[in-house]
Amino acid sequence: MGRLICLSNRLPLGPTPSGGLVVALADTLAERGGVWIGTSGELSETPENRFTEIEGGPFRRLAFDLSPEEQASYYHGYANSVLWPLFHGRTDLLDIRGDYLAGYKAVNRRLAKMLLEVLEPDDRIWVHDFHLLPLAHDLRVLGAENRMGFFLHTPFPTPLALQALPNGPELCAWLSHYELVGLQSERDVRNCMDAMVQIGGATELAGGFIHLEPRQVRIAAFPIAIDAAEFRTLAEEQVTKLPEGLVKPNRRLMIGVDRLDYTKGVPQRFRAFGEFLDRHEDWHRLVSLIQISPPTREGVPAYDDIRQETEHLSGQINGTFADITWTPIRFINRPVPREVLAGLYRAADIALVTPLMDGMNLVAKEFVAAQDPDDPGVLILSQFAGASEQLVDALTVNPHDPEQMATAMMTALAMPLAERQRRHEGMMQLLLKKDVHWWSKGFLTALG
C-alpha cells in the first residue's frame, strides 16, 4: 500500500482544537509511512518553495511559510472572506475581489509544485478543507495521476448561494479532479450534487457519482466524529478538578463553546437566554450560562463585528438581570485548556449548540461523550448543525426562533431523569460506534 499524504491549511503542531483529527490519522500515517503537509503559521517575506521537516511527533510533518501578501489574499481573503461566508449561506458577507482569487490560486499552485517534488506514484492524497480546493486540479496539470480525495469540513452551499460566486463553475471544476469528495452530512451531499449539475454542468450518475470531465467523482457523506471513549474518560477525571464553587448546589449550569464566529449563533443564543430569564423569574439566581468563545480570524472585519455584538448583548443581559450574588452570563473570550473544557461539559446540565449553519459541530459530540450516564445533561442542538442528522435524541431547535429556544431551555431544565438517560444512551451508543477511527477508515476505504 502506498503512503498517505494529508494536506490541510495549518499543519497540526501539538495539541490544537483539531486534535481529534490528528489522533485519528496518526496511526494510519505511522503505519503507511505517510506525511502531513500544511502551512507553518510563520510568515516570511520571501518564503522558500520547499518544505521544512518538523521534527518530533508520531508522524512525518512538512511545513511551508506564507508571505504576508499570501496570508492576506489566500487566507484572510478568498478562504475566510469569500468561501467561509458563502459555504455558510452568508452571501451578505461576501467580499469578492480579483486579487483574493488570484492569491488563492497562486498559493495552491505553489503548494502543488512543492508537493510534486516529494510525491511518489502510489501515494494516496487526502486534501482537507476549503483552503485547498484547487489542489487536485493543480497537481493534474503537473501530471500527477495519484488517487486524490477531498474532505470538506464546512457545509456545502446550495446552488442558489453558489450563484453568488463569480467563479462558481470553476469551483465545481476544481472538485472534478478528485476521485472522492467527502462531506459532513446528507444535506451537504445533496447540495454538492445539485451544484455540480446546475452550476458545474455535470451529469448525475447512479450510486452517488457525478460525471464531469475529466472523471467520475464519488460524492458521499462521512460525518466527522470524536474519540468518544477517550473523551468520556477525560471528562470523568477532570470534573473532580474543577475550581471550587463553580457549580453551586441547587444551581444549574448551561454551557456554550464556540470559536467566536458569526456562524455559531451566539447572539441569537444570548437573546434566547434573555427571553428565558424574562419569562421565568423563578429561575433567576438558579441558572447561569458559561459561554466560552476564543477569538479567531482577528483582522477579518466580520469577526470584529461579532465580538462587539456578543460583548454588547452579554453586557445588556447581565445589566438587566444580575444581582450581587448572580451573574447570568459569563462570557469568556479566551481559550480554555481541553481538559478543563471536558470537566465543564460534564458539570453542565445543558449544552447550547445553536449554530446558524455548521458542517458538523464537534462540541455537540464532546458534550454528549462527557456526560455521566447516570445523571446526564441535555443537549439543545440546532437543526442547522450537520450533527443533527446523527444526534436525533437531542432537543432540536431553530436558532432563529428565540421563543422556541427559550421553551427548549425550560424543557431541558424540567426533563425527568429517565428521559435524560434514554436520550443520552441513544446518542452515546452512536458516538462510540461511529467514532473518529470509524470516520477516517470510512473515507480511506472509499478512496481505495
Buried b (16+ CB within 10 A) or exposed e, 369-401: bbbeeeebbbbbbbebbbbbbbbebbbbbebee
Instruction: Tell whether residue 6 is a contact of ligand GDG (CB under 6 A).
Output: no
Q: Minimal distance in Å, beta carbon 131 to ligand GDG?
A: 12
Instruction: Tell whether residue 298 is a contact of ligand GDG (CB under 6 A).
Output: no
Q: Minimal distance in Å, beta carbon 262 to ligand GDG?
A: 11
Q: Minimal distance in Å, beta carbon 81 to ligand GDG?
A: 16
Q: Total residues at the site for ligand GDG (CB under 6 A)?
A: 20
Cis ω on the peptide bond leading into residue 214 (within 30° of 0)? yes
Instruction: Tell whether residue 348 is a contact of ligand GDG (CB under 6 A).
Output: no
Q: How far apart are CA 9 and CA 24, in angstroms?
A: 18
Q: Return the C-alpha cell found at 440.
A: 477516517
Positions annotated as catalytic residues are 153, 358
Out of 123, 138, 227, 358, name the contact with ligand GDG by CB under 6 A: 358
Q: Minimal distance in Å, beta carbon 428 to ligand GDG?
A: 17
Instruction: Tell whether residue 188 is a contact of ligand GDG (CB under 6 A).
Output: no
Q: Return the C-alpha cell found at 384.
A: 442547522
DSSP string of 137-206, one letter each residue: HHHHHTT----EEEE-SSPPPPHHHHTTSTTHHHHHHHHTT-SEEEESSHHHHHHHHHHHHHTT--EE-G
Instruction: Tell whether residue 436 is a contact of ligand GDG (CB under 6 A).
Output: no
Instruction: Tell whether residue 341 is a contact of ligand GDG (CB under 6 A).
Output: yes
Which residue lies nearer to ligand GDG by CB, 88 or 218? Answer: 88
Instruction: Tell whether residue 336 is a contact of ligand GDG (CB under 6 A).
Output: yes
Side-chain-side CA neighbours of residue 318 (13 Å): 17
Q: How far apart are CA 301 and CA 305, in angstroms?
A: 6
Give backbone dihedrals phi and psi of 251, rounded to 5 degrees, phi first: -110, 150
Instruction: Tell whether residue 288 is a contact of ligand GDG (CB under 6 A).
Output: no
Instruction: Tell whether residue 90 is a contact of ligand GDG (CB under 6 A).
Output: no
Which residue lies nearer to ligand GDG by CB, 112 or 235? Answer: 235
- 63-72 long-range contacts (CB < 8 A, ≥24 apart) are 63/11, 63/37, 63/38, 63/39, 64/37, 64/38, 64/39, 64/40, 64/111, 64/114, 65/39, 65/40, 66/39, 66/107, 67/43, 68/43, 69/103, 70/103, 70/106, 70/107, 71/43, 72/103
Q: What residues from 127 to 156 belong to the interface with ligand GDG (CB under 6 A)?
A: 153-154
Which residue lies nearer to ligand GDG by CB, 96 or 336? Answer: 336
Q: What residues from 366 to 425 belong to the interface with ligand GDG (CB under 6 A)?
A: 366
Candidate segments 273-281, 332-340, 367-375, 406-414, binder of ligand GDG by CB under 6 A? 332-340
Q: Minimal distance in Å, beta carbon 234 to ligand GDG?
A: 11
Q: What residues from 221 to 240 belong to the interface with ligand GDG (CB under 6 A)?
A: 224
Residues that bind ligand GDG (CB under 6 A): 17, 153-154, 224, 257, 259, 292, 294, 335-338, 341, 358-363, 366
